[in-house]
Amino acid sequence: MQKQAIFQARLLPYVLVAPQLAIVLIFFYWPALQAVIQSFLLQDAFGLSTTFVWFENYLELFRDPSYFAAIVRTFFFSFAIAVSSLSFALLLAVMADKPLRGSILYRTLLIWPYAVAPPVVGVLWIFMLHPSLGVLSRYLRAMGVDWNPLLDGDQAAALIILAAAWKQISYNFLFFLAGLQAIPKSVLEAAAIDGARPMRRFWTVTFPLLSPTIFFLLVVNIVYAFFDTFGIIDTMTRGGPGTSTVTLVYKVYSDGLLGGNLGSSAAQSVILMVMVIVLTGIQFRFVERKVTY
Amino acid sequence: MANVTLRNVRKTYLGGFEAIKGVNVDVADGQFCVLVGPSGCGKSTLLRMVAGLETVTGGEIDIGGRVVNQVEPADRDIAMVFQNYALYPHMSVYNNMAYGLRNRGMAEAEIKTRVEEAARVLELTSMLERKPRQLSGGQRQRVAMGRAIVRQPKVFLFDEPLSNLDAKLRIAMRVEIRKLQRRLNTTSIYVTHDQLEAMTLADVLVVMNGGQVEQVGNPLAIYEKPATTFVASFIGAPPMNLMSIRQDEITSQLGDGRASEAGILGIRPEDFVITDQTPVGGIALPLTVEAIERVGAETFIYGARAHDEQRIAANPGELPPGEVIVRIPGTEAPAIGEKIRVAAVQAKLHLFSSDGRTRIEI
């Protein structure tokens, strides 16, 4: 059977894909190439002369303890954000999956936060938890917590993780809910008749059957925590206090655009680019394999 | 080992829809009970109520002398085989069967013995390490059976377990299920929409329609004396010919007042013979042959009656109005368009009230 359409004209297919190709080339490949070239260059402080330094920018980075700290911090943030938002989303999805009155309404409400842009999320949480403006900060202090994320690096980190995880819950919830609804009801009924109580049913049947979804979301969440948290960090802490919330992505921005060290910033972007490629590769390979249990 | 008794069982959904309208059934210990009916008649709902997967909104369900209305499925000591098998896709065949035993805290050694015994009986021994997706439909079906029998429950529940199999396998599994049930002697309730499956498996046949029981009894007794026109046309294939009786030639032949109470006459296709005689007290019909179906051992003749409007409508397995099916052995048959005369003896006539709800004995 013929499954592919055959174009008679030779030129037409190229004309049809040209707009898409142009966008990809101009907005993706060209900047990526620029970054690679830039990462081999070193500019003087006044931007008057540029020298080609081979891998000096990269070597410099690996010798820099603050870069190493940013790597560790980014991994920690990713892990914390992924685990907290995944587990909370799963909890919500399990509860929303129950046949209750008005389920469509609260399912919709649970999905809403995903429509909020990351910088807006940052502002929202600042309004709640800013040491002097925040509504919740007053209660925290009333309870005896010395709450000041503008001075305390750990609290700032916790705030970033909280805001970033909160935003991602909706996305995870959506996938978990779909995953839960894809599990045949009769399998859970069979487990109930087989004498498994609800908790045991969850851990021995539901959870293993959700494992493909969980793995997929884990990769997506790590990618999100790596890159999409920029807006949240920039609005909430700008990397501070000190460098306690500077992640790899934020460092690219602060070193390059704020610090003016374009060569190092470009080298950092190239490293991030490689990480994205690896993560995306893992995800694609996984998505191709449909069944894992 | 247990009997199952349903006393005036009802199910009304929140919206007010009444799925089960008061069902009374008594299944004795070790009996094989089949619930049969068209789709939507409530047979699956009733089975799921016995399993504890649906709440009971009225009446009592009694398993082995204990009312289980409020008892969790896990504590009813039942096992169920689902239509889609409902195997745990992430577990091996062995673990699928062992799961229910582990949940009950049985020792691994005992579990192993039981699972291996069940696997031997069901010829699954070589497949114990496979996952369900590596099995064929028939094998999955056997694993589902295995999962039920290792538990040695009081009652087996089957929810259309064969409807996903092809015709040949279905017959083979039907025989297997019956043999297995006879050997284990476990009380069973089996739901199907296939009247042939129902006839061949049941000790007790329960014919359901619209949330109510139409008739309960031995399958052959039901076949020979259907209580309503619904049962008459649902049990038996091809269905019983149902004709209204009053004004036309049938009334005059039946004579002596019996027809005055009855409104509907039923004759099974196999009870007709082609003859010019009219048996005493029996009935004869002139027919025009419209179609012939030869299936080898027997032949079906589709004939049109002179008075077309007399056909009773609105029953499952229905014939077009005015059509009569005659079933004769062998392949000798009249030609299409030929006019024939068929007759049935009095003992083979079924009379029903005009609404079809009551059988009238001759």
Task: Dihedral sign for Cα B41, B44, B50, B53, please.
Answer: negative
Quick one: pLDDT at residue B318? 47
Contact A208 B90 (CB under 8 A): yes
Kindly report the average pLDDT of chain A as a whole number: 83
Could you tell me what percent of chain B has a pLDDT over 70?
90
pLDDT per residue as tens digits for the range B46-96: 999 999 999 999 889 999 888 999 998 888 999 999 999 999 999 999 999
Task: Dihedral sign for Cα B141, B147, B149, B150, please.
Answer: positive
CA distance B194 to B163: 9
Quick one: pLDDT at residue B254? 64
Domain with CATH 2.40.50.140 in chain B: 238-360
Q: What is the mean pLDDT of residues B258-282?
A: 81
> Looking at A274-288, B30-44, B184-198, which range is the least confident one?
A274-288
Quick one: pLDDT at residue B265? 85
CA torsion, points A278, A280, A283, A288, in degrees to nearest 10?
-110
Q: What is the mean pLDDT of residues B134-154?
A: 90
Predicted confidence band of residue A287 (pLDDT cuts 50, 70, 90): low
Contact B127, B146 (CB under 8 A): no
Q: What is the mean pLDDT of residues B135-151?
A: 90
pLDDT per residue as tens digits for the range B169-200: 888 888 988 988 888 899 999 999 998 899 99
CATH 2.40.50.140 fits B238-360, yes or no: yes
Quick one: pLDDT at residue A212? 85
Q: Is the pLDDT of residue A198 over 50?
A: yes
Cβ neighbours of B74 in A, within 8 Å = 192-197
Could you tell me what percent of chain A has a pLDDT over 90?
15
CA distance B191 to B54: 16
CA-closest candidate to residue B94, choices B143, B153, B161, B151: B143
Domain with CATH 3.40.50.300 in chain B: 4-229
Ranges of each domain in chain A: 55-288
> Looking at A95-109, B42-56, B131-145, B244-258, which range is the least confident one?
B244-258
Q: Is the pLDDT of residue B311 over 60?
A: no
Quick one: pLDDT at residue B101? 92
User: Helix or strand or coil: residue B229?
Assistant: helix
Number of other residues whose CB lies within 10 A of the CB of residue A196: 23
DSSP B263-282: -EEEE-GGG-EE-S---TT-
DSSP A110-165: HHGGGGS-HHHHHHHHHHHH-TTT-HHHHHHHHTT----TTT-HHHHHHHHHHHHH
CA-closest candidate to residue B213, choices B52, B357, B57, B1: B357
Q: Is the pLDDT of residue A126 over 90?
A: no
Taken as a whole, chain A contains a residue count of 293
Q: Return phi, psi of residue B89, to 5°.
A: -65, -25
Q: Which of B90, B143, B158 to mutate to test the interface with A (most CBs of A within 10 A)?
A: B90
Quick one: pLDDT at residue B307? 57
C-alpha distance from A211 to closest chain B C-alpha (Å): 10
Q: Is the pLDDT of residue A274 over 80?
A: yes
Kindly report the average pLDDT of chain B as a whole number: 86
More confident residue, A44 or B42: B42
- Cα B90 to chain centroid distance, Å, stands at 34
Contact B103 A293 (CB under 8 A): no
Residues 6+ apart with CB under 8 A from B296: B331
Instruction: Choose from A96-105, A246-255, B127-136 the range with maximum mean pLDDT.
Output: B127-136
Flag whether the ipTM exceeds 0.90. no
More confident residue, B323 or B98: B98
**CA neighbours closer than 13 Å in the CB half-sphere of residue B72:** 12
C-alpha distance from B73 to closest chain A C-alpha (Å): 5
> In chain A, which among 123-182 make CB contacts under 8 A with chain B?
none
Terminal-to-terminal C-alpha distance of chain B: 41
User: Pick from B51, B89, B103: which is nearest to A293 by CB?
Assistant: B89
| C-alpha distances in Å from residue A148, one per residue of A129, A130, A157, A159, A234 | 9, 8, 12, 10, 17
Predicted confidence band of residue B155 (pLDDT cuts 50, 70, 90): very high
Quick one: pLDDT at residue B49? 93
Residues 6+ apart with CB under 8 A from B186: B1, B30, B152, B153, B154, B155, B156
Cβ neighbours of B83 in A, within 8 Å = 186
* Amino acid at site A124: L
Domain A55-288 sits in CATH at 1.10.3720.10
C-alpha distance from A280 to closest chain B C-alpha (Å): 26
More confident residue, B90 or B254: B90
Quick one: pLDDT at residue B317? 43
* Architecture category of domain B4-229 in CATH: 3-Layer(aba) Sandwich (3.40)
| C-alpha distances in Å from residue B353, one per residue of A98, A284, B89, B259, B313 | 48, 69, 52, 9, 14
CA distance A85 to A90: 8
Predicted confidence band of residue B259 (pLDDT cuts 50, 70, 90): low
Q: Looking at beta carbons, which pairs linking A158-161 to residues 24 or more positions away fall under 8 Å?
A: A159/A125, A159/A129, A159/A236, A159/A237, A160/A77, A160/A229, A160/A232, A160/A233, A160/A236, A160/A237, A160/A245, A161/A77, A161/A80, A161/A81, A161/A84
Cβ neighbours of B82 in A, within 8 Å = 186, 189-190
pLDDT per residue as tens digits for the range A90-118: 998 888 887 777 777 877 888 888 888 87
| C-alpha distances in Å from residue A170, one per residue of A112, A165, B189 | 7, 10, 45
Number of other residues whose CB lies within 10 A of the CB of residue B266: 23
pLDDT per residue as tens digits for the range A53-79: 777 778 888 888 888 888 898 989 999
Q: What is the mean pLDDT of residues B142-171?
A: 90
pTM, rounded to two decimals = 0.78
C-alpha distance from A293 to closest chain B C-alpha (Å): 5
